[in-house]
Amino acid sequence: MLDEREILDRLKDCIVNLDIPCVQETCRDALAGGISAYRAIVDGLSKGLEIVGGKYETKEYYLADLMLAGEAMKEGMRILQPHLERKELGTLGKVLIGTVRGDLHDLGKNVVAMFLEAAGFEVIDLGTDVSAQKFVDAALSQNPDILGMSALLTTTMPEMKKTIREIEKAGSRAALRIIIGGAPVSSEYGEEIGADAVGSDAVEGVNVCKAWIDRRTCVRPERHI
């Protein structure tokens, strides 16, 4: 019978190998072997996802691999969550995310949301075609730490600027860190509209969000433009 370390290492390797059936089987083995759901997530699933992120950054893995790793993580969490007390895992922070009005593309946004959840964030996904007012209303009601906006069309990029301006008018900009992303979005555009960061891909975006939370005692966020 495998010991605890071997099971956790196998769980990590299942994620790295993008093997969903292996993740499912090993999560069940972990629980049967007396390993806590918390340890299986933190020392198994999450470690594997970190490695996948590194492989993506070095171009060894591609976007499709990121998505498959995210799905594998979801399947593992589905098995482990009933055995997990919420207070054990906690959250790094709350992220409000969506694709701006007029844009129905959600592939990149969905990958970012999966990786944020895997990193320990609570994610509120508003979906696609999200108006500036809907972003503002959600920001006021949900009180997130971070707002993420995605646009895949140059014609919808101005909605990002409009949303930021409406958030400023609502008086909630100072406490909110804003990150934007999407194929046509540049760091120059982010600077122009007053975003705090532009994420070139899911891995970078999540790393920026984690860095902000690590420095949450700052009065204003460090810019990542």
Secondary structure element (H or E) that encloses residue 197, with its range? strand 197-199
CATH 2.60.40.350 is right for the domain spanning 91-214: no
CA–CA distance, 142 with 159 (Å, rounded to integer): 21
- The residue extents of the domains of the chain are 4-88, 91-214
The answer to whether the 4-88 and 91-214 domains have the same CATH topology is no
181-208: average pLDDT: 91
The structure's pTM equals: 0.73
User: What's the Cα-to-Cα distance from 154 to each of 68, 109, 147, 222, rounded to whole Å?
Assistant: 28, 16, 20, 26
CA–CA distance, 196 with 194 (Å, rounded to integer): 6
pLDDT for the residue numbered 85: 65
CA–CA distance, 99 with 91 (Å, rounded to integer): 23
pLDDT for the residue numbered 221: 44
pLDDT, one tens digit per residue, over 5-34 is: 999 999 999 999 999 999 999 999 999 999
Q: How many angstroms separate the first and last alpha carbons of the chain?
A: 51
pLDDT, one tens digit per residue, over 46-61 is: 889 889 888 988 999 9
pLDDT, one tens digit per residue, over 123-153 is: 999 999 999 999 999 999 999 999 999 998 9
The CATH number that domain 4-88 falls under is: 1.10.1240.10
61-82: average pLDDT: 88
